[in-house]
Amino acid sequence: MYLMSNNWVSFVPLALALFINVMLLLNWRGRRTFNALLVSLVGFSLILMTHQLILSSGFYNLGAMLLFMSIWLNGSFIYLLSSIRSKLRPGILN
C-alpha cells in the first residue's frame, strides 16, 4: 500500500484519524480533551497534507505520532505526570 496513490486503500489512515478525533470527543474529560483534540487535529492535518502530496512522506510519521500522543494525553498522561511529581520533591515541577 502506497499512501500517495489515489486508490481507496490510501484513505484508510484518514478514516482512522477521523475515528480517533470522534472517540476523543465522545470521551470528554474537560481541558485535557481539548488539548488532546488540538494535538490530534495537527496530526490529522499532517497526514492529510501528506496524502494530498503537499508535504513529504516524513511528515506522515510525525502526524501518526501526534495522533498516538493525543490518545495518551487524554488517557493516562496526567496520571504519569502526577506520579513523577510525587516521587520528586514537592513543588519542583509547579
Q: What percent of the chain shows pLDDT beyond 90?
A: 31
Q: Answer whether residue 5 is part of any domain.
A: no
Average pLDDT over residues 16-35: 90
Q: Answer whether residue 7 is part of any domain.
A: no
Predicted confidence at residue 4, as pLDDT, reads 55
The 8-class DSSP code of residue 8 comes to G
Q: Which domain holds residue 25?
A: 12-87
* 34-79 confidence digits (pLDDT tens): 999 999 999 999 998 888 778 888 898 999 999 999 999 888 877 7
Query: Domains in the chain: how many in total?
Result: 1
Q: Answer whether residue 3 is part of any domain.
A: no
Task: Look at residue 1 and tell me whether its pLDDT is greater than 50.
Answer: no
Q: Answer whether residue 92 is part of any domain.
A: no
Report the amino acid identity of residue 3.
Answer: L
Task: Look at residue 19 and tell me whether its pLDDT is greater than 70.
Answer: yes
Angle at 50 between CA 28 and CA 42, to 5 degrees: 25
Q: Answer whether residue 33 is part of any domain.
A: yes
